[in-house]
Chain A
Amino acid sequence: MIKIAMILIWILLSFIFALFYEWFDRKVYAHFQNRVGPQMAGYKGILQPLADFIKLLNKQSIFPKGSNTFLINFSAISSVALMFFILLFIPLYNLNAPLSLSGDLILLFGIGVFIDLLIIITGYSVACPYSNEGAARKAEMIISFEIPFGISIATIIAISKSITIKDSLLFQSLGIPLIIFMPLSFIAYIFSSIAKIEKAPFDAPIAESEIVAGWTTEISGRTLALFRLSFDLDMYFVASFGAILFLGGPALPYFNYPGLLFLNQTLNFVMFFIKTSLIVFLITMIRSITARYRIDQVINYFWKVIIPLAMLNLIIIIIFGMG
């Protein structure tokens, strides 16, 4: 019963964090462009993502004739549900999350790929050339960014000698964040994350000036609301996952004073929040100062720059580990 309550609390927290980081991203992006950004709903517009979500949820869904609406709705529900599911593995205030198992690093990576495949299924289920083109671009992107993303995770596995999130946190709670050993992997992780969440300069699948809105062109109403929520959850996931794997998450510095449980957990949570926000800020900064790459440029960039960088770091770690 306590476990179910924890899962529900985690889902609620993930929802709040996802919407908060959407607001944060929009606000920072606006300031980089000398704009104000959201400001109407709530303090400084902090409730704008929630208002947008509720509005979209209550709008009529319009699909083009010949579309497979079952697959589209299934993909929307599944992508959000699976995002919530993988966020249950993210510890927020200590070393434990509601779910943890041996091999969770690989499991999270695998589910991440599956969520991306759901997007391709959606794009191809809509009878619209823009959606099809968006899905094709997404497929081409996946074969580029999933590899450095996976290699970064593999480097963490190689260094912490474990395939669980908890062990990598335990390793870092000794006082050294993994980013010190693997700066190149961190760079690869950040760029792969930007491509994963389809932000500039890797937003070719939803490039508005080329293919209207890419694979989301013909998605509307509550289905679009869920897909947009899935985007936000994805951004929160890559940021929190990066904060945990490279910066120590809530375990660096690990506050564990005896008899001060609440204070310890609050301080650990604050550390986690600061690190996650830093990664979101970094992603937003990169997307603010760069222009969109063409899809062939994205593939070239990942295969010729990012993958060799990630591989180099992995090989260095393996050689040192063997020595």
Chain B
Amino acid sequence: MIIIELLVSLFIVYLVVLIIYLLGSKKRKYGDTYHCGERLIGNKVKYKVPWIYFASLLIAFDAAIVLIAITSLSLNIVTVIFLALITLSLFFIPKEKEGENDD
């Protein structure tokens, strides 16, 4: 029942936003990239390796949140140890070299 309620609500909000969108101007034009006076080519930005460590930690913390959510009614020592371990992992983040992160 609740799933149907959620789906209907989602359908209604999408419908409302779609109506707002269709009320807007349909004029569309394709032009050059904004150059700000310089000649720039639209290319992808390269990711740096240290961000992978952060991304891994993000997953660990997100897992912790789910873990806490599930065990919210009976928080136990396993949760505390898990949290302590991922907090400790913060100290092992590789340091960046000078100037490596300059934009």
Task: Mark A residues whose CB is within 8 Å of B.
Answer: 3-4, 7-8, 11, 57-67, 69, 73, 76-78, 80-82, 84-85, 88, 98-99, 101, 103, 105-106, 109, 124, 126-130, 132-133, 135-136, 140, 143-144, 146-147, 150-151, 153-154, 157-158, 161-163, 210, 212, 217-218, 221-222, 225-226, 294-296, 299, 303, 307-308, 311, 314-315, 318-319, 321-322
Contacts and interface: CB of A to CB of B under 8 A. Distances in A.
Nearest to A153: B65
B17 A77 contact: yes
Label chain B's interface by main secondary structure: helix
Contact of A7 (B9, B17, B31, B73): B9
B34 A127 contact: no
B88 to A, nearest CB: 11
State the 3 A-B residue pairs at the shortest beta-carbon distance, nearest first.
A222-B24, A127-B42, A57-B24
Given A80-B17, A80-B20, A157-B72, 15 more contacts: A60-B27, A62-B30, A63-B28, A77-B18, A101-B2, A129-B33, A129-B42, A147-B61, A147-B62, A157-B69, A212-B36, A217-B34, A308-B90, A315-B84, A318-B83
Interface residues on B, range: 35 or more
Nearest to B101: A296
A91 B61 CA distance: 28
Nearest to B22: A222
A81 B17 CA distance: 6
Nearest to B80: A318
Contacts of B103: 133, 210, 294-295
Nearest to B10: A85
Contact of A161 (B23, B72, B77, B80): B72
Contacts of B45: 129, 132-133, 135-136
A140 B51 contact: yes
Interface string B79-93: 110011001001001
Contact of B30 (A65, A80, A85, A130): A65
Residue among A82, A136, A303, A308 facing the most chain B CB atoms (10 A cut-off): A136
Nearest to A101: B2
Label chain A's interface by main secondary structure: helix
Contacts of A135: 45
B48 to A, nearest CB: 9
A252 B12 CA distance: 31
B10 A318 contact: no
A195 to B, nearest CB: 14
Contacts of A99: 5-6, 9
Contacts of A85: 9-10, 13
Interface in B1-50: 2, 5-6, 8-10, 12-14, 16-18, 20-21, 23-25, 27-34, 36, 40-45, 47
5 contacts: A62-B29, A65-B33, A73-B21, A77-B18, A218-B34
A82 B10 CA distance: 8
